[in-house]
Structure 1
């Protein structure tokens, strides 16, 4: 069994959404350190500029994956910046109501916002980049989409209705798309990074002890190892 090292990521062309905070930022940093070509997307221009400056050679793109009109321009910017695309990481997420709420107390708008970020955004962006991913697969490159999911997608945690339902939909979308894209050589992975010490987690559970949580850098490395390890044919 070939033991994968993150050096295997060298020269891989990777796009990460939600790339200026938490897991997304950890992924961008690890990919950059491993010599991958990285484009990342986030909504706040100042944060995008700061991260791009701190990691020379990365491409920071400002956009909101929940906005339909942002998707096509972002897809074009990603493939132009990287000269194609091997891996898309759909990491940007929306929690639903903050503070967390029971479904009976959840506004329709909060459910819509969770679905827009956690399901429709990844669907639209993946679809817009599929041609590039299929071209990458034809060139024998590891064309992969990684959708970041959560145990809240499978376990019915009270208060996590909007988030859990949207992530459950994303996980199943991933499984179906994986079957459909198999013949084209494109993999679709739904990966759960676990509970991490991130701003996102602090927003959801302000009273939790950060020391008891996984560091985003460790979750990022686990995800990247999944990326390199070839699944048995």
Structure 2
């Protein structure tokens, strides 16, 4: 990762910003000067991360339809627009993990509501702001956090994997449809990480075999920079 990148002026919205990958992204982007608005459900955690990083915290639930427009309005108002949206918040579905035959319909629905509908609704609500950013040559990028469970059939991961597969294909279609607006859509798989979500899914997993979320965040930021139209300006003179 290029250590001296200055992201001053870059406006980034992040969902699920108080733990795991989302928290690592908030920390690293804030350290590099980006303006961040992040979303999470627990007020105490939002306050803590906001105080630590200087990022703007929003207490809301991406899985609740009625929260979406307030989230979008607060992101736009706090940042003065949005250049990059990172849809990171995720739901496992049933906990503990269950075979599809043992998964309740409501548990599958819960995974789809957060992992697909939540990301879709928030992106749709911010589409105009993202298009404006693209017209200004600032950004216009949506990063949807996917998983290898979207392409590999892991027993027990049916609700999560199916929802992430839907998100990945949704991303590809939206990218094809949004070229005229200048907005890019990418789905990124960060790999198996040592996060609270992974621990919830596989509590007995060997943590030494899992990727550090800080490393995954650095990799995602590299890919974000490659996709931004302002990449050259952001990285000029940035090589350590």
Fold similarity call, TM over 0.5 = yes
The equivalent of 1:25 in structure 2 is: 23
Residue 86 of structure 1: CA displacement? 0.2
Spell out the pairing of 1:28-47 with structure 2 (5 A cutoff). 28-47=26-45
Q: Deviations over 1:130-185 (max 9, x none)?
A: 00000000001121000000000000000000000000000000000000111111
Q: Does 1:51 align with 2:49?
A: yes
Cα 1:40–1:6 change in 2 (3 A) is farther
The equivalent of 2:100 in structure 1 is: 103
> Is the Cα–Cα contact under 8 Å of residues 184 and 227 in structure 2 kept in the other structure?
no
TM-score, with normalisation over the residues of structure 2? 0.93
> Is the Cα–Cα contact under 8 Å of residues 41 and 60 in structure 1 kept in the other structure?
yes
In 2: Cα distance, 1:109 partner to 1:209 partner: 30
The equivalent of 2:196 in structure 1 is: 199
Match of 1:209 among 193, 206, 210: 206
Q: Does 1:167 align with 2:164?
A: yes
TM-score, with normalisation over the residues of structure 1? 0.95
> Is the Cα–Cα contact under 8 Å of residues 8 and 228 in structure 1 kept in the other structure?
no
Spell out the pairing of 1:101-180 with structure 2 (5 A cutoff). 101-180=98-177
> Is the Cα–Cα contact under 8 Å of residues 6 and 224 in structure 1 kept in the other structure?
no
Q: Does 1:221 align with 2:212?
A: no
In 2: Cα distance, 1:231 partner to 1:9 partner: 12
Match of 2:9 among 6, 11, 17: 11
In 1: Cα distance, 2:96 partner to 2:179 partner: 40
The equivalent of 1:87 in structure 2 is: 84
Give the aligned length: 229
Runs of 4+ in 1 over 4 A off after TM superposition: 3-6
Cα 1:187–1:201 change in 2 (3 A) is same
Cα 1:5–1:185 change in 2 (3 A) is farther
The equivalent of 1:75 in structure 2 is: 72
In 2: Cα distance, 1:223 partner to 1:6 partner: 16
Residue 231 of structure 1: CA displacement? 8.3
RMSD over aligned Cα atoms: 1.5
The equivalent of 1:190 in structure 2 is: 187
In 1: Cα distance, 2:189 partner to 2:147 partner: 5
Cα 1:6–1:151 change in 2 (3 A) is farther
Residue 35 of structure 1: CA displacement? 0.4
